[in-house]
Amino acid sequence: MERKKEVMIGNYAIARGLVEAGIDLAAAYPGTPSSEILPGIIEFNKREKGSTYAEWSVNERCALEVAIGAAMIGKKSACMMKQVGLNVAFPPLPSFDELKIRGGLVMVVCDDPGPQSSQTEQDTRLISVLMDIAYFEPSSPDEAADIAYYAMNYSYEHKLPVIIRSTHRVSHARQAVSIFPKGKRIVDLKEGVLNKTNGNLEGSKLGIVSSGMTYSTTLDVLKEMGLDNIIPVFKVTSIMKGKISGDKNKGIIEFVDKVEHVLVLEETDAVLELLIGKNGKVLGRNTGHVPSAGELTYNVIRDILGDVLESLKITKKKFFYDYEIEDATKEIHIVQRPPKLCAGCPHRATFYAMKEAFPEAVFPGDIGCYTLGTSLGAVDTCIDMGGGINIASGFYDAYNQDGALIPIIATIGDSTFFHAGITPLYDAVKKNKRFMLIIMDNGTTAMTGMQPTPQTGITAQGELNKPILIEDMVSSLGIDFLKVVDPYDVPLMINTIKDAYNFLSLEIKKAAPAVIIARRECVLSSRGKEKPKYEEIPLEKTCIGCRTCIDYFGCPAIQFDDDKNQVIIDEGLCTKCGVCLFVCPMI
């Protein structure tokens, strides 16, 4: 049979494998690097004219428990999340041992070594091993499709929940992936030593145990060194029920026993290393041969291998950096490009108003695009989804105890509010915590790629359901101060923030906290929908080079020209929102 191939990212490959395996239900909360799997399932299901039901859940726990319910009835179900989403979905996991499913249950969890787009690194395999849940780990997009297919069928046949653990380098790698008709995929999961060494492991001075994208990168590095056919590399594709002593994984132990030294290369924690044990023989994170945190990039692996091969007196293959390249750019001004809120982002306007109203305030923040408010000095904390509201409560108690009068202005996005903000806010109301909460409502989950929120009523399939308004939810929690403001109206926003502070200081018989909903559609989705507010932004004309807008506003469309000592507007980026006109002291 001729195999059909299509270029796609790893997340779509996972979706493809699940659809081919006949998935009935999929539920997910978006989170980088996992967000594209659910849309992939919807797309492939449409193409195959299937009847898979897919939904965006309000949070990861909802996603997992919905999937559990369907699996109990006998459906093939799956949920998707990022690694820190697993923390939210954690409560049912310890009960998995006694969980009776009649169908299949696959949890797809995408880790973020680095981290590149998360508050922390976290290794999902640790949770899998701790909870005795079998996991599978793909090393490329092509393999990810096979693994997704296999894992769903494995779960269905054995009536056991399983985890697929991906990382961003697999989820977001792009490759030609084999496509099969539904139910017809031929899977040959590869595990063990796959590189063509002479086969005789006895007496091998060094063997490598690796998994996932780290395995793939390790092979590429060995190839560069000319050692890919000399150093045996054991690929670990799955760990069944938290053990490596079982039938499926006993090959690892045999491999480790035969070679003289074992180097374990894995992301991001020492999971395989701990399972293998064998003190003295194993080199890895615990022996300092592998860095204790961060992504194992090509360079990192090349350096590790160079050092290990030399210290074991196998060969001298250390890669020496040509530092003349760095020397050549030392004197050059390279524009720094940290991620910024977009030009025209309503969040920036809100943050500016907050700082203008109460520069001395403390600002508990939350997780989303608006975490970037740190660069505007308007986000002081960022712990986890919904954490900002509870932290604001804690701040209030602490200040109150000490008699300190410090305004507390917390922020949370609309999607995050639905995800994890409602319970903390209700808790704060019950205890009359006197802080201000600004819900930054841009009508979408912008950070992860514009997934709809419950407020829009739009489903994952793009159909319109009943919208649930944030103000209705907030007022039903018993909040007495509630205002909805367009953040582009900077003076009104500043006044509303001051009103909220007065309310919290004076109206002591009414329920706190005070809530402001800063509502304006995300610029990424509103682009082209409405006419710009201003025809022209006269910032360049009035500029005296004071840099106020650069230092306190930081819009990417405003750049400073050192030669001319004035700002220039990047017409390609500027949305003509005119918020900067409130910032410029000359206008």
Partner 1 sequence: MNKTKRIFEQTPETMEIICAGIGGRGVLLASTLLIECAVDADLSAIASDEYGMSQRGGSVVSHVKIGDAKSPVVGRENAHVLLAFEESEFYRNLTFIRRGGLAIINSRNTSIFESVDKVLKKRNIAYFLIDGDKIAKEKGMIQASNMAILGFFSAFSIGPYNHDALRHTIEKKVKESLVLKNIEVFEEGFLKAVSLSKNL
Interface residues with partner 1 (CB under 8 A)? 5, 7, 9, 32-33, 116-117, 139-141, 168-169, 172-176, 213, 215-217, 219-221, 223-224, 297-299, 302, 319, 321-322, 324-332, 334-335, 337-343, 369, 372, 447, 449, 524, 556, 572-573
Element (H, E) at 171: helix 168-171
Residues forming a β-bridge with 568: 559
Nearest distance, CB of residue 435 and partner 1, angstroms:
29
Pairing of strands 238-239, 104-111: unpaired
Q: Which is nearer to partner 1, 159 or 340 (CB)?
A: 340
H or E stretch at 217: helix 212-225
Between 220 and 486, whose beta carbon lies closer to partner 1? 220
Paired sense of beta strands 558-561 and 566-569, if any: antiparallel
Between 9 and 518, whose beta carbon lies closer to partner 1? 9
Residue 354: both structure tokens together? 């907050």
Query: Least Å distance between CB 194 and partner 1?
Result: 10
For residues 175 and 249, which CB has a smaller minimum distance to partner 1 in the complex? Answer: 175
Residues 6+ apart with CB under 8 A from 105: 67, 68, 71, 77, 78, 155, 161, 162
Q: In angstroms, give the least distance from the CB of 577 to partner 1.
A: 16
Question: For residues 109 and 82, is the Cβ–Cβ distance under 8 A?
Answer: yes
Give bridge partners of residue 560 from the DSSP assignment: 567
CB of 495 to partner 1, least distance (A): 30
User: Are the C-beta atoms of 164 and 14 separated by less than 8 Å?
Assistant: yes
Cβ at position 347, least distance to partner 1 in Å: 12
What is the spatial distance between Cα 161 and Cα 183, in angstroms, rounded to a whole number? 20
* Smaller CB separation from partner 1, 297 or 548: 297
DSSP state of 451: B
**What's the rounded Cα separation, in Å, for the pair 399 and 103?**
52
Q: Which is nearer to partner 1, 176 or 544 (CB)?
A: 176
Q: Is 165 left (phi over 0), alpha (psi -120 to 50) or beta?
A: beta
Q: Rounded to whole angstroms, how far apart are CA atoms 317 and 587?
A: 63
Give dist(CA 562, CA 28) in Å, integer: 48
Parallel, antiparallel, or unpaired for β 162-167 and 104-111? parallel
Q: Are 173 and 142 in contact (CB under 8 A)?
A: no
Length of the chain equals 587
Taking the least distance from each CB to partner 1, the nearer of 95 and 298 is 298
What's the min distance (Å) between Cβ of 481 and partner 1?
33
* Residues 512 and 428 sit within 8 Å (Cβ to Cβ): yes
Q: Which is nearer to partner 1, 324 or 535 (CB)?
A: 324
What is the smallest separation between the CB atom of 117 and partner 1, expressed in angstroms?
4
Q: Which is nearer to partner 1, 219 or 244 (CB)?
A: 219
Nearer to partner 1 (CB atom), residue 298 or residue 586? 298
Q: Annotate 270-290 with b (16+ C-beta within 10 A) or e (fewer).
A: bbbbebbeeeeebbbbeeebb
* CA-based nearest residue to 117, from 166, 87, 83, 141: 83
CB-nearer residue toward partner 1: 372 or 420: 372
CB of 209 to partner 1, least distance (A): 16
CB of 324 or CB of 463, closer to partner 1: 324
Q: Report the C-alpha gap between 264 and 301 in whole angstroms.
A: 11
What's the rounded Cα separation, in Å, for the pair 95 and 195?
Answer: 40
**Number of C-beta neighbours around residue 36 at 10 A:** 24
Shortest distance, CB of residue 527 to partner 1, whole angstroms? 11
Exposed/middle/buried for 556, CB within 10 Å: 0-12, 13-18, 19+? middle
Asked if 443 contacts 469 with a C-beta cutoff of 8 angstroms, the reply is no
